[in-house]
Structure 1
Amino acid sequence: MKTKNSKGELISRKFKGRLILMLWAGVILPVLMIVLVLVFISESSLPSIDELENPRSNEASIVYSSDGKQIGSFYLSNRTKVNYNDLSPHLIDALVATEDVRFYTHSGVDVKALLRAVFGVFVGKNKGGASTITQQLSKMMFHERPKSKLKRVIQKFAEWIIASRLEKRYTKQEIIAMYFNEFDFLNTAVGIHSAARIYFNKSPKELSIEQSAMLVGMAKNPSIFNPVRRPEKTLKRREVVLFQMKNNSILTQQQYDSIRQLPLGLDYHPETHTTGLAPYFREHVRIKTKQIVKNNNLLNEYRKPINIYSDGLKIYTSIDANVQKHAEKAVAKHLQNTLQNLLNKEIKNNKHWPFSNETSKTTRKNSINRAIKNSERYRKLVNQGWSKEDIMKNFNTKQSIRVFDWKSKGLVKQKNMTPKDSILYYKSILRAGLIAIDPHTGFVKAWVGGINYRHFKYDCSNKSKRQVGSTMKPFVYAAAIESGQISPCTTFPDIKYCIDIPFGGITKQWCPGGQKNYSGEEIPVYYALASSKNNITAQVIKLTGGKNSRVVNYFKTMGLWNKSIEQVSSLGLGVCDLSVLEQTSAHCIFSNYGVYVQPITVVRIEDKYGNLLWEPKQEIKQVIDPNTAFSVLKMMKGVTGVKNPITGKTGGTARRLKSTRAYSFSGIMAGKTGTTQNNSDGWFVGHTPDLVAGVWVGAEDPSVHFKTTVNGQGANTALPIWGYFMKEVYRDNKIKINKTDFIPPNEGGKTQIECTYSTNNTDNPWM
């Protein structure tokens, strides 16, 4: 028998139900009708069928290494679309459980959730959101948040219509994938592909339950639940998502209790143009890709010129991510731990620090003024309308400035100094460049353009051209051997040697330096090259005509000629300017039987659907005779130690590579060191059968340099970087590289030259 209380409750419930129906019929339905009329009146503001079926959103162009790793992207929005099958099941479960439990049963609008939300408004209680996943997607894709409430109401109903249309045109799986692709997870992570990489260094498929829950939790409000800035709030929000997963029987109580205790576990990898692997190379690829698009008139799917920042290109490059990693570490290791400290000690008492004492006042002044005008600070002040006087006053006023520093945490130090002093400070910092190329394919495997892209954006491997020093000598010997005037066994006396040079109607003598004492003894050519004897090189140059015309032709054939490569005697000692990329690619002919293969950085470009848009047409040229090339290569093997069979003395400018030093290298290799006048530039170009790597070290300004050759020579500045680099490349089992000896030309047959000398010393390293 029912009590009076139960009857009263029944009447109360009926009354409330009738009241709601009356409100719905008398208030809400008319409002709905009005709004719907407004929506249909503004039908033109709704997306067209074409826009619904082909929604457009900015997609980042992705840069891939040769081993398939993503090493960067170019974007307006850092978004890379993925398919439903690329998503972790945990992501899907977390999203549906938290945002739209009836997702699989409604058609875009959840009527139950809507009524619940409306009722909550009338009774003054939050009954949960009413927007379905599809409605949220329609808002992300087609609307921005309006300022007025009326427009927001109109937009809400427009979203209902769009959601219904989306449901008719896409499967539930496609809608979920579109949702994750569109959502902005902040910190340059637009879409789930970027979010998984940036927050956890994973693919979307690899995300765990707790990681999926965190990312789905951000959908509530990514600004509030930002894991980088507000980890505690994000953790609490993640727990809400996990709780919803438990409530919907996705997680057991035991799983929930266990997972909710876990930390966020971020593996945060912010993706910017200044950080990450190979930043100098990525900037080169960005510029090159834009040129390729323009020169080849590449069009997107809408028949408009491709925009590399929004059309989602797939750019496949030659760089090996593992080789690149070792290259960057090698540069940092030598400069940070050893070389910069040596330079600081040598120049700390210079009269006009950091410039050398012999630098003229005019040279110093021009160098500083040029650096000021090229600085970002100067450009900003000019754009703000500052006068030149006020700008110079600013540059001479002490301020708190963040500068690069090898010893500081994060490589950044806060110093109280004038902007002008910061320019002088940066001129004292050694720079470096490293390029590694497969000599047979021309593929550039490593590209280090500097020591830190954030602070030093100028690419020392490509844009900078510096004197190459003795790394030019192999080309001199190749010219003489190819012309038949010498062989590797030919000997020359170790004496001071000068060449008569016509100069304006008179004759002047050019006498190469670099050596104080001369033994007068005969020296074989192969020993002279390995020991970098300038006086012997001068005699070889004289024998071939004194102008190095054949050497000039080599560089013209390779397409590397510039105005500094003149037909003069001093060219043979490296008095010409080349970039690290140019000189390394030129050296590749010795490891490739005299064949020059144009360096390749961008291997192919595809559109976002995988259709091929562009592939390079590579230039391949026979520059020198194969046997000549191999003879010079064999001569360069002596750089790590070779005996003079006549005197018994051991030479080789890179003997330290076979020492007990930390950068020693046990593999078979050949190479050439280089040091320019005043020790301004240090070089080493080293060859292994599958990889030729060139290294340059020097300050931004040639007038900032080591005082002593002991510290400033290429064998001390550039060579150790090469050693550190190749040592790790050979250790890394993930890198496939030939570690055997160089194979002679002529289908593997031996190229053997027997040197016979009138001496009791029977050592013949040439055989």
Structure 2
Amino acid sequence: MFSKNQKLKTWAKRIAYGFFITFAVLLCFYGSIYFGFWGEIPSAKKLANLKQSQATQVLDTNNDLIGKFYIYDRQSISYNDFPQHLIDALIATEDTRFYEHNGIDNTSLLRVFFKTILLSDKSSGGGSTITLQLAKNLYGRKDYGFLSIVVNKLRESIVARRIEDIYSKKEILTLYFNTVPFPDNTYGIESASQKFFNTKTRLLNLSQAATLVGTLKANNGYNPRLYPESSQQRRDLVIQLMKNQNLITEQEAKAVINKDIELDYQYYAPNQGLAPYFRAEIKKQLDAILQEKKYKNPDGEAYNIYHDGLKVYTTLDNNLQRYAEEAMQEHMASLQRQFEKAYGQNAPWLKNKPAFLAAKKRLKTYRKLKQQNLSDKAIEDSLNKKHKTELFSWDEPTVENLSTLDSLEYYSKFLNAGMLSLEPTTGAIKAYVGGIDYRYFQYDHVSQSKRQVGSTFKPIVYTAALENGMEPCSYFSIKEVTYTDVNNWTPKNASEVENKDLNYSLAYALSRSVNTISVKVLQETGIDKVMEQAHAMGIKSDIEKVPAIALGTSNLSLMELATAYTTYVNQSKPSKPVFITKIEDKNGHVIATYEDLNPETPKTEAFSEDTRQVMLEFLKETVNNGTASRLRSTYNFSNDIAGKTGTTQDNKDGWFVGIMPKLVTVVWVGNDNQQIGFSNTSIGQGANSALPMFAKFLQKLNSDPNYQNISQARFVKPSEKVLKAIDCELTKEESFFKQLFGNKKSEKPFKKKKKKGFFSWLKKDKDSI
């Protein structure tokens, strides 16, 4: 038998062997992690050259953030941008010994190991230092089965020690704040500050800083947008911890705790937020720019807009953009109600109406099913299958159980809009509204859409006439004329005139948008010369060589029209719209300048200075007494404004162009289905459908003292020569002999046109004011 001492020695040896074996196993286990058996661990060299994916920022003309392009919503800032109370909140909440340890809290690490392995307590986590969290943020975690938490913790401890050896505490805090995830797929404190409070990190107050730090424990559970009460309780706990550690006073803590969290949430997702159509166009342009060989990063590779943290400086003014969007929303919500009420039960978008049936056949789903040789009944059954669909509404978005055809009918009723404001002397785009809501209507009506422009084309006709020798005080009869050489075409006016024996001056005819006279002016000038004038004014689209262009039957983009109208306040030269002024990399190095992106092209005057001054006076008359006079009578504007309304055949498109000395604004309203127009001219005319959007925009502009340089700008007085040239009666009676024998001059035939496409313009002869 063994003695008692021998037994003790035997157990001691066993325990020692056990400890040795355990230590050896742990050492081997740790070594397997250290040497990469469980996955590569970044070396000190890699850690010293950290490259984190960063969002490309889109900035407005005031350097305010208006959007981002990203996979991970992250943008980096320096340590000096962190307010002290933000740093204090983080350390008080996450790592009170941050300045004392070397990156690892050994006690917590052992607790996690023994409780997890020996006691299978999965809730034993916690105790991570800021450096350990940084390691996790930088490299994430992998799944290693039941050993996941231990392997990941040990990997992070190795990385954390290396980080502490390479970086100072300030640098670690900078890396942490720039990489830590916040709610709503947001990475980094700067992105979170911008998103949740619409402010920069350096301007965060104590409450905002504590709120964001509080979300780090549980991004979703403490999301202040989704769970404001839980988030506020968490914020108050952070504040209490700061007070307990004497980082803030009791008075400061009470001041925060007694107030609710006030969010100013910003949507920077592509489909949401300010100026989504503009941002989509910026992305297109940026993609094209960065594909050029001369724009490469220091490694010789192409820049990636989703990873490289570029800064794109644009011409947009975020305040003017906000005013434009608000004006559009206010007007279009009201106009939509008018539009639907006027049609009642006879709406053309209802099922089985021609416009609806034509739209159905244009559906991608319909065409795809048709290609499968399915029967009409099978196609109809497929298109009638219902599913939950989120629907746009001018009140609140709703979710309903609708079929494809139900959705088509629903969306076919909505009017859409486009609006562009630019600085005429530079072409700088200040406001850009491509549609009513980018989430549901992604077709851009500023740069993509081309629609008939109606009477907004008439000033181009009159400009060509003046340039080719027509006197400003020329008079034309308002009477209708039938052009026998153009298939007996008889242009008509939008409304009846009491005295048909009147002759109208050019100013009066243009300001009242008289169709019959516009055609006669075109006839006198010549179609070729009018087309040449249009192209000289910046219009790039093809213009069909037919007399009906005098009534605006050409399809042009809103941007082209805006370009043409800049000539009237830019020394007769068209201004090319400018989007981007500069591109920088994440370190502030300039990649491309304004001169690179907007190469100077020789600009020649599209017409003479005298013609410019005369036309501007004609367009002022349109606002003062003509078709746009409600700007004076209804809205009581005293601003210097010139402009032109326009409406197309069957009230399909409503237009308004507003010209101010320092801002040119073009507005379009219509239905995306060009078979659907307004039910009557009183609602559909440009003065009612488009002009009020400009008016609401101008109201907001006038009320903002920061924009007095635009709102109070005055047109330069015309020269004495021009004032004398336009000093004539607006109308005058026809002479007895003209009444007796007719105005033969106005019946001068047009040059014959080739038969191809002949009827395409003939049916578009009616243009409302």
Confirm or deny a common fold (TM above 0.5).
yes
Q: Look up the match of 1:723.
A: 695
Q: Look up the match of 1:655.
A: 629
> Is contact 1:498–1:512 with CA below 8 Å preserved after alignment?
no
> Is contact 1:488–1:635 with CA below 8 Å preserved after alignment?
no
Taking the TM superposition and a 5 Å limit, the aligned residue runs for 1:162-177 are: 162-177=159-174
Task: Provide the C-alpha distance between the structure 1 equivalents of 2:478 and 2:519, rounded to a whole number of angstroms.
Answer: 11
- Indicate how the Cα distance of structure 1 residues 395 and 508 shifts in structure 2: closer, same or farther if over 3 A, else same: same
Task: Provide the C-alpha distance between the structure 2 equivalents of 1:670 and 1:164, rounded to a whole number of angstroms.
Answer: 69
Matched, 1:160 2:157: yes
> Given residue 93 of structure 1, which amino acid in structure 2 is its aligned partner?
D
1:100: how far off? 1.8
> Given residue 36 of structure 2, which amino acid in structure 1 is its aligned partner?
S
- Indicate how the Cα distance of structure 1 residues 383 and 705 shifts in structure 2: closer, same or farther if over 3 A, else same: closer
Q: Look up the match of 1:494.
A: 478
Taking the TM superposition and a 5 Å limit, the aligned residue runs for 1:299-448 are: 299-337=296-334, 339-350=335-346, 352-354=348-350, 361=354, 364-370=356-362, 372-373=363-364, 392-397=380-385, 401-406=389-394, 408=395, 410=396, 412-415=397-400, 417-448=402-433
1:461: how far off? 1.8
> Is contact 2:522–2:530 with CA below 8 Å preserved after alignment?
no
1:288: how far off? 1.4
Q: Secondary structure at the match of 1:734?
A: helix
- Indicate how the Cα distance of structure 1 residues 756 and 206 shifts in structure 2: closer, same or farther if over 3 A, else same: closer
1:285: how far off? 0.9
Task: Provide the C-alpha distance between the structure 2 equivalents of 1:233 and 1:23, rounded to a whole number of angstroms.
Answer: 52
1:578: how far off? 0.8
CA RMSD, 1 decimal: 3.4
> Is contact 2:491–2:515 with CA below 8 Å preserved after alignment?
no
Q: Look up the match of 1:95.
A: 90
- Indicate how the Cα distance of structure 1 residues 543 and 224 shifts in structure 2: closer, same or farther if over 3 A, else same: closer
Task: Provide the C-alpha distance between the structure 2 equivalents of 1:90 and 1:23, rounded to a whole number of angstroms.
Answer: 52
Question: Which range is displaced more, 699-708 or 265-274?
Answer: 265-274
Question: Which range is displaced more, 57-66 or 136-145?
Answer: 136-145
Task: Provide the C-alpha distance between the structure 1 equivalents of 2:370 and 2:276, rounded to a whole number of angstroms.
Answer: 28
> Given residue 690 of structure 1, which amino acid in structure 2 is its aligned partner?
K
1:416: how far off? 5.4
Task: Provide the C-alpha distance between the structure 1 equivalents of 2:254 and 2:26, rounded to a whole number of angstroms.
Answer: 44
Q: Secondary structure at the match of 2:346?
A: coil
Deviations, residues 213-270 of structure 1 (Å, cap 9, x unaligned): 2322222232443333444443443344333323322133454455444434333334
Task: Provide the C-alpha distance between the structure 2 equivalents of 1:501 and 1:621, rounded to a whole number of angstroms.
Answer: 39
Matched, 1:567 2:545: yes
- How many positions carry a matched residue from both structures? 709
1:459: how far off? 1.2
Task: Provide the C-alpha distance between the structure 1 equivalents of 2:431 and 2:51, rounded to a whole number of angstroms.
Answer: 36
Q: Look up the match of 2:461.
A: 476
Residue identity (%)? 35
Taking the TM superposition and a 5 Å limit, the aligned residue runs for 1:575-586 are: 575-586=553-564
> Given residue 405 of structure 1, which amino acid in structure 2 is its aligned partner?
S
Q: Look up the match of 2:445.
A: 460
Deviations, residues 51-92 of structure 1 (Å, cap 9, x unaligned): 212212221111111122111111101111111111121111
Task: Provide the C-alpha distance between the structure 1 equivalents of 2:269 and 2:19, rounded to a whole number of angstroms.
Answer: 55
Deviations, residues 370-408 of structure 1 (Å, cap 9, x unaligned): 1x3279xx99x99999999766424224555432222x3
Q: Look up the match of 1:594.
A: 572
1:347: how far off? 1.6
Deviations, residues 22-60 of structure 1 (Å, cap 9, x unaligned): 999757754552233213432881213442122122211
> Given residue 393 of structure 1, which amino acid in structure 2 is its aligned partner?
D
Q: Secondary structure at the match of 1:73?
A: strand
> Given residue 489 of structure 1, which amino acid in structure 2 is its aligned partner?
C
Q: Look up the match of 1:646.
A: none
Q: Look up the match of 2:714.
A: 741
- Indicate how the Cα distance of structure 1 residues 388 and 179 shifts in structure 2: closer, same or farther if over 3 A, else same: farther
- Indicate how the Cα distance of structure 1 residues 413 and 234 shifts in structure 2: closer, same or farther if over 3 A, else same: closer
> Given residue 724 of structure 2, which amino acid in structure 1 is its aligned partner?
I
- Indicate how the Cα distance of structure 1 residues 236 and 669 shifts in structure 2: closer, same or farther if over 3 A, else same: closer
Task: Provide the C-alpha distance between the structure 1 equivalents of 2:317 and 2:613, rounded to a whole number of angstroms.
Answer: 27
Deviations, residues 295-352 of structure 1 (Å, cap 9, x unaligned): 3553234432211111111111111111111111111111212x21221122223275
Q: Secondary structure at the match of 2:358?
A: helix
> Given residue 656 of structure 1, which amino acid in structure 2 is its aligned partner?
R
The gaps in structure 1 that reach 5 residues or longer are 1-17, 643-651, 762-767
Q: Secondary structure at the match of 2:326?
A: helix
Matched, 1:39 2:11: no
Q: Secondary structure at the match of 2:345?
A: coil
Question: Which range is displaced more, 99-108 or 314-323?
Answer: 99-108
Q: Look up the match of 2:753.
A: none
Task: Provide the C-alpha distance between the structure 2 equivalents of 1:386 and 1:152, rounded to a whole number of angstroms.
Answer: 55
Matched, 1:640 2:617: no
Deviations, residues 528-554 of structure 1 (Å, cap 9, x unaligned): 111111122122111112x2x123223
Q: Secondary structure at the match of 2:603?
A: strand
> Is contact 1:187–1:270 with CA below 8 Å preserved after alignment?
no
> Given residue 534 of structure 1, which amino acid in structure 2 is its aligned partner?
N
> Is contact 1:399–1:417 with CA below 8 Å preserved after alignment?
yes
Task: Provide the C-alpha distance between the structure 2 equivalents of 1:35 and 1:119, rounded to a whole number of angstroms.
Answer: 14
> Given residue 594 of structure 1, which amino acid in structure 2 is its aligned partner?
S
Question: Which range is displaced more, 715-724 or 566-575?
Answer: 566-575
Taking the TM superposition and a 5 Å limit, the aligned residue runs for 1:226-305 are: 226-296=223-293, 298-305=295-302
> Given residue 638 of structure 1, which amino acid in structure 2 is its aligned partner?
E
Task: Provide the C-alpha distance between the structure 1 equivalents of 2:372 and 2:48, rounded to a whole number of angstroms.
Answer: 46
1:664: how far off? 4.1
Task: Provide the C-alpha distance between the structure 1 equivalents of 2:298 and 2:238, rounded to a whole number of angstroms.
Answer: 39
Normalising by structure 1, we get a TM-score of 0.85
> Given residue 396 of structure 1, which amino acid in structure 2 is its aligned partner?
N
> Given residue 468 of structure 1, which amino acid in structure 2 is its aligned partner?
V
> Is contact 1:680–1:705 with CA below 8 Å preserved after alignment?
yes
Q: Look up the match of 1:14.
A: none
The gaps in structure 2 that reach 5 residues or longer are 1-11, 733-769
> Given residue 723 of structure 2, which amino acid in structure 1 is its aligned partner?
Q
Task: Provide the C-alpha distance between the structure 2 equivalents of 1:760 and 1:106, rounded to a whole number of angstroms.
Answer: 91
Task: Provide the C-alpha distance between the structure 1 equivalents of 2:393 and 2:66, rounded to a whole number of angstroms.
Answer: 26
Task: Provide the C-alpha distance between the structure 1 equivalents of 2:112 and 2:338, rounded to a whole number of angstroms.
Answer: 71
Matched, 1:522 2:503: yes
> Is contact 2:349–2:356 with CA below 8 Å preserved after alignment?
no
Q: Look up the match of 2:515.
A: 534
- Indicate how the Cα distance of structure 1 residues 731 and 519 shifts in structure 2: closer, same or farther if over 3 A, else same: same
Task: Provide the C-alpha distance between the structure 2 equivalents of 1:171 and 1:525, rounded to a whole number of angstroms.
Answer: 77
Q: Look up the match of 1:647.
A: none
- Indicate how the Cα distance of structure 1 residues 637 and 231 shifts in structure 2: closer, same or farther if over 3 A, else same: closer
1:166: how far off? 1.6
Q: Secondary structure at the match of 1:440?
A: coil
Task: Provide the C-alpha distance between the structure 1 equivalents of 2:725 and 2:471, rounded to a whole number of angstroms.
Answer: 11
Q: Look up the match of 1:556.
A: 535
Q: Look up the match of 1:626.
A: 609
- Indicate how the Cα distance of structure 1 residues 183 and 492 shifts in structure 2: closer, same or farther if over 3 A, else same: same
Task: Provide the C-alpha distance between the structure 2 equivalents of 1:632 and 1:618, rounded to a whole number of angstroms.
Answer: 27
Q: Look up the match of 2:746.
A: none
Counterpart pick for 1:71 among 66, 72, 77 = 66
Q: Secondary structure at the match of 2:476?
A: strand
Q: Secondary structure at the match of 2:73?
A: coil
